Amino acid sequence: ILKIFKESNKMFKYMENYLNIGVGFQRLLGFILSFFMIIHIVACLWILTVQFYESAEGTWMEGDIYQMDAPEKYLTSIYFTVTTITTVGYGDVSISTKLEKVFCIVTMLTGVIAFSFASGSLASILQSYDIQNAKYKE
């Protein structure tokens, strides 16, 4: 993990020096990359929750989902993770077990915190951009 942070730090310094991208945009880009990493990890853990049971009956993979090949299961898991984190929740993939309910609660709380942070970062970037525009026009 430390190596990943060092490499991402090098990437952000490169963007700042050579691409002339501001710190606010770097923060937003870093958050977006982190968000996609969180989605990937949660989707993988979501698939793993089924492994605690002897069969897929009574779990979120019951029926057609269990018969899918691995990439389709992963895509369905990503889909469910994104709809849960964004609090959209279409209901076409549903949870049944206690473990899945606890996992969804944690995922929803993570999503709310992440979206709050993203909204604040985006508002800060836009405000900074507006102030710079006003100074330029003056």
Residue 116, judged by CB atoms within 10 A of its CB (0-12, 13-18, 19+), counts as: exposed
Residues 6 or more apart whose Cβ sits within 8 Å of residue 66: 50, 56
State the pLDDT confidence band at 67, using cuts at 50, 70 and 90: confident
Looking at per-residue pLDDT, the higher value among 98 and 12 belongs to 98
Which pLDDT does position 40 carry in this prediction? 93
Res. 87: pLDDT tops 80: no
Distance CA 115, CA 121 (A): 10
Which tens digit of pLDDT belongs to each residue from 34-60? 888 889 999 999 888 888 887 778 788
pLDDT of residue 126: 74
What confidence tier does 6 reach under pLDDT thresholds 50, 70, 90? low
Distance CA 124, CA 74 (A): 34
More confident residue, 40 or 115: 40
For residue 122, what are its two tokens? 């985006």
